[in-house]
């Protein structure tokens, strides 16, 4: 039996990088997917690959920095899949500017909006029905910056990721007694297009030593497929040799 057979999942940022890897790994394990992002073409390509594993996959185009579009994406996912068993708040962004001096107020607001507020809104939309069903898993893809905020990651990025730690802890406090669990997933550096927005993007030989999208996929499958009595509340994962 596939480990996520019969499970429905909403994954944000499924068009690229870690989110794409998570979507493909979960599809391989039998999950039905709602794929959220702005790039319809790349989401459709992931959906097609997911369907080739035999499951359902629906594309939900949304700019998650916009509250109305978050709720519209949830409605589209519900209409296609019915209930959502697993929410993966993975979408995220960074800007090239990292210091307080260089980060504009607009960039700060955008980072908090996309990286943190959207995760809150998806949680707010889906948590009540998970609580009512006494089952559900929420996986918040943060970063090492959630545990160790740093200037290299940037002031806005680090603050947004540390906020995901708080969101995860409060979700657990509010929902564990109803059978709903939340996991903060903190990856170190990964080989994804996000790195192209670094002030100096890393060279190809260094990228091979980093976490790969399929590594995130393997961890999400594990967290989502553990028996309901188990809450893996924190995962910190790093490249071994960097
Ligand atoms: N790569 C790393 O080293 C690393 C390390 C630690 C944590 N992370 C975290 O891992 C997550 C995934 O990042 P990644 O490295 O896979 O980056 P990526 O390849 O750039 O993917 C980012 C994803 O987020 C989506 N996204 C961004 N802004 C959006 C918006 N306004 N509305 C809807 N979707 C949006 C993008 O979709 P569209 O372009 O289709 O909108 C894309 O699918 C992020 O939360 C990131 O902070 C990454």
User: Catalytic residue numbers?
Assistant: 157
Query: What average pLDDT does the segment 226-241 reach?
Result: 98
**Residue 186 confidence class, pLDDT cut points 50, 70, 90:** very high
Q: What is the 3-state secondary structure (H, E, C) of the chain?
A: CCCCCCCEEEEECCCCHHHHHHHHHHHHCCCEEEEEECCHHHHHHHHHHHHCCCCCEEEEECCCCCHHHHHHHHHHHHHHHCCCCEEEECCCCCCCCCCCCCCCHHHHHHHHHHHHHHHHHHHHHHHHHHHHHCCEEEEEECCHHHHCCCCCCCHHHHHHHHHHHHHHHHHHHHHHHHCEEEEEEEECCECCHHHHHCCCCCCHHHHCCCECHHHHHHHHHHHHHCCCCCCCCEEEECCCCC
Asked, for residue 239, whether it belongs to a domain, the answer is no
> What is the chain's mean pLDDT, rounded?
97
Asked if residue 2 is part of any domain, the answer here is: no
Choose which residue among 33, 192, 196, 236 to substitute to test ligand 1 binding: the one with the highest number of ligand atoms within 8 A of its C-beta. Answer: 192
Predicted confidence at residue 104, as pLDDT, reads 98
pLDDT value of residue 146: 98
* pTM confidence score: 0.98
Q: Residue 77's domain spans which residues? A: 8-231
The whole-number average pLDDT for the span 93-118 is: 97
pLDDT average, residue stretch 129-143: 98
Q: Report the percentage of the chain scoring pLDDT > 90.
A: 96
Instruction: State whether the beta carbon of 95 lies less than 6 angstroms from ligand 1.
Output: no
Could you tell me if residue 125 is inside a domain?
yes
User: Does any ligand 1 atom lie closer than 6 A to the CB of residue 22?
Assistant: no
For residue 163, report the distance from its CA to the centre of ligand 1, in Å: 16
The reply to whether 35 falls in a domain is yes
CA–chain centroid gap for 191, Å, is 16
The Cα 161–Cα 216 span in angstroms is 17
Instruction: Decide if 38 is inside a domain.
Output: yes
User: Does the residue 132 lie in any domain?
Assistant: yes
**CB-ligand 1 contact for 211 (6 Å cutoff):** no
CATH of the domain at 102: 3.40.50.720
136: closest CA among 177, 165, 195, 97? 177
- The residue behind tokens 């809150």 is 120
Query: Is 183 within a domain?
Result: yes
User: If you measure from the C-alpha of residue 114 to the centroid of ligand 1, how many angstroms do you get, rounded to a whole number?
Assistant: 10
156 ligand 1 Cβ < 6 A: no
Q: Dump pLDDT digits (tens) for 31-70.
A: 999 999 999 999 999 999 999 999 999 999 999 999 999 9
Check pocket membership of 92 for ligand 1, CB cut-off 6 A: yes
- What's the number of domains the chain is made of? 1
Residue 141 lies in a domain: yes
pLDDT of 122 strictly over 80:
yes
Mutation pick for ligand 1 pocket among 23, 185, 194, 217 (CB with most ligand atoms within 8 Å): 194
Q: Please compute the mean of the pLDDT values over residues 206-234 and round it to a whole number.
A: 98
The pLDDT value recorded for residue 198 is: 79
Residue percentage of the chain with pLDDT more than 70? 100
């Amino acid at each position: 039996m596939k480990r996520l057979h019969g499970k429905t999942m909403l994954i944000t940022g499924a068009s690229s990088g870690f989110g794409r890897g998570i979507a493909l790994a979960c599809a391989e394990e039998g999950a039905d997917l709602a794929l959220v992002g702005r790039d319809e073409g790349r989401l459709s390509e992931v959906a097609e690959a997911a369907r080739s594993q035999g499951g359902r996959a629906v594309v939900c185009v949304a700019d998650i920095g916009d509250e109305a579009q978050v709720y519209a994406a949830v409605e589209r996912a519900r209409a296609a899949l019915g209930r959502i068993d697993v929410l993966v708040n993975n979408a995220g962004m960074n800007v090239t500017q990292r210091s307080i001096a260089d980060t504009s107020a607009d960039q700060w607001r955008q980072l908090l909006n996309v990286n943190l507020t959207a995760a809150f809104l998806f949680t707010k939309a889906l948590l009540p029905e998970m609580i009512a069903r006494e089952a559900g898993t929420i996986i918040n893809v943060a970063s090492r910056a959630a545990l160790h905020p740093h200037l290299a990651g940037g002031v806005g990025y680090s603050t947004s990721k540390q906020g995901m730690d708080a969101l995860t802890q409060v979700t657990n406090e509010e929902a564990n007694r109803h059978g709903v669990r939340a996991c903060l997933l903190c990856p170190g550096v990964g080989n994804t297009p996000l790195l192209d927005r670094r002030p100096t993007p890393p060279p190809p030989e260094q990228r091979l030593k980093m976490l790969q999208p399929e590594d995130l996929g393997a961890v999400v499958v594990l967290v989502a497929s553990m028996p309901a009595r188990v809450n893996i509340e924190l995962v910190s994962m790093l490249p071994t040799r960097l």
